[in-house]
Structure 1
Amino acid sequence: MLDTFLANHQGEATTTAGYEPKVRLHIKPRLGHVKIVNVTDDLLDELYRELEKQSCPTNGGKPLGPRSIGCVGFTNCPAGVAHEKPGCTTGALR
């Protein structure tokens, strides 16, 4: 589903290029096995908490900060359903 979302994304090429590493490095390894109908708010909250704690090789081995974690999400999820994360100005998945 994520690969289809990226392949069919209608936005600017630079936006899609920005989404690709977020999907590859952060979303697919943790949620790639989960069917979209089984993605819940709690599961996404768990993903965000995990990103806050685990080291990230692209962040100098440090965990991601709140702004970077917010950027892992998208304005619309691959299923086309808008989500919001409280306090996030990027419209991340929630």
Structure 2
Amino acid sequence: MAAEAAEEARQLRSCEDCGLPEAAGLCPACASRRRVDGLVRDADAVYAAYRRRHNRRTKEAAEQAADAAGLRTAEALLGRLLDQLDAARRRASAA
């Protein structure tokens, strides 16, 4: 009997969000809105984690590409310098 009275009192409570009477504390519309809000928060958290991971990988890839480009530039410069050195040696030996 006490359990029945407690259940009846719960059923008579207004909705905590919108105040709809006899909503057992939360009406179906507000309960759905809360579930959707929770799902949106979860999706935002997942997206934020994905962006952090993606940005970290993108930054690492950009750094690796820059390192590779720097290495290619240095190799090309070294090749040109060696060519110039060989040409200078040939000119010196011909003179």
TM-score by length of 2: 0.19
Instruction: Answer 1 or 2: which has greater helix percent.
Output: 2
TM-score by length of 1: 0.20
